[in-house]
Chains A and B, each alone.
Chain A
């Protein structure tokens, strides 16, 4: 009986992070260009237009997807900074945890803004 060869070393998450960093970047760039296009098309954004825009279900979803991409992107980037400059493992773990908590809180905040009612 033959079994597939097992990878003996490495967690193999490096390439996934590399790819995620690029995919999330493209998502955020697309949202940025879209928002800029809406602003230029309408010759600026006043309160009324801003309200109408954020009342749209599609825009809420697009904004939510943007924020998910941003948080994922920021996690990889900030984690890399801690990995490069913070050598003591305990301190780095603490910073990692604080980073994750802050980013998860940002997602909660985003949900409150988008679907918080009123």
Chain B
């Protein structure tokens, strides 16, 4: 059989329309892991270092920091970063378990990605309610 007789391979769909792609649940956890990691790098590291420095400087600066974080916008930002930390934390533990071949079949992997989303949101809600 010559190469000419071979059936032409079907053109593969190059389909990277981000709005139209429907990610499976583990894919959503994965991209949120990346997004939360980037947010933690950009915002949480400098903010937390600044806050720890101010909180340790003097009782007055500790009180001033508490007052600053009482502002609704500061609370919103804090809740957002708390979610980023919690999601990154929970998804990270899931990846460590997957590395150890715990729950790496399709059904358990879907369940655990659901759990990561649910647990990190629930914990964020608890922190948010306490904060507010």
Determine the distance from Cα of A108 to Cα of B56 in the docked complex, in whole angstroms: 17
Determine the distance from Cα of A32 to Cα of B38 in the docked complex, in whole angstroms: 19
Contact of A78 among B38, B89, B96 (CB under 8 A): B38
Contact of A25 among B57, B62, B63, B96 (CB under 8 A): B96
Determine if A78 and B41 form an interchain contact, defined as CB atoms under 8 angstroms apart. yes
Q: Can you give 19 contacting A-B residue pairs, CB < 8 Å?
A: A22-B96, A25-B96, A29-B92, A32-B89, A47-B62, A51-B56, A54-B56, A70-B45, A74-B41, A77-B37, A78-B38, A78-B41, A81-B37, A81-B38, A112-B53, A113-B49, A113-B52, A113-B53, A113-B56
Chain B interface size, under 10 / 10 to 19 / 20 to 34 / 35 or more: 20 to 34
Min CB distance, A81 to chain B, in Å? 6
**Apart from A50-B55, A77-B37, A106-B45, 4 more pairs, CB < 8 Å:** A29-B92, A77-B38, A81-B34, A112-B53
Q: 5 closest A-B pairs (Cβ-Cβ)?
A: A47-B62, A113-B53, A77-B37, A74-B41, A25-B92
B24 on interface, CB distance cutoff 8 Å: no
Determine the distance from Cα of A51 to Cα of B45 in the docked complex, in whole angstroms: 21
Determine if A22 and B99 form an interchain contact, defined as CB atoms under 8 angstroms apart. yes
Residues from chain A with Cβ under 8 Å of B93 in the complex: 29
Within 8 A of B (CB), among A69-84: 70, 74, 77-78, 81
Min CB distance, A65 to chain B, in Å? 15
Min CB distance, B39 to chain A, in Å? 11
B9 on interface, CB distance cutoff 8 Å: no
Determine the distance from Cα of A113 to Cα of B56 in the docked complex, in whole angstroms: 8
Residue-wise, chain B 68-106 has the 8 Å CB interface mask toward A (1 for contact) of 000000000000000000000100110010010000000
Residue-wise, chain A 13-52 has the 8 Å CB interface mask toward B (1 for contact) of 0000000001001100100100000000000000100110
Within 8 A of A (CB), among B28-63: 34, 37-38, 40-41, 45-46, 49, 52-53, 55-57, 59, 62-63
Residue of B nearest to A109 (CB): B49
Residue of A nearest to B93 (CB): A29
Residues from chain A with Cβ under 8 Å of B57 in the complex: 118
Determine the distance from Cα of A70 to Cα of B46 in the docked complex, in whole angstroms: 12
Determine if B49 and A106 form an interchain contact, defined as CB atoms under 8 angstroms apart. yes
Residues from chain B with Cβ under 8 Å of A70 in the complex: 45
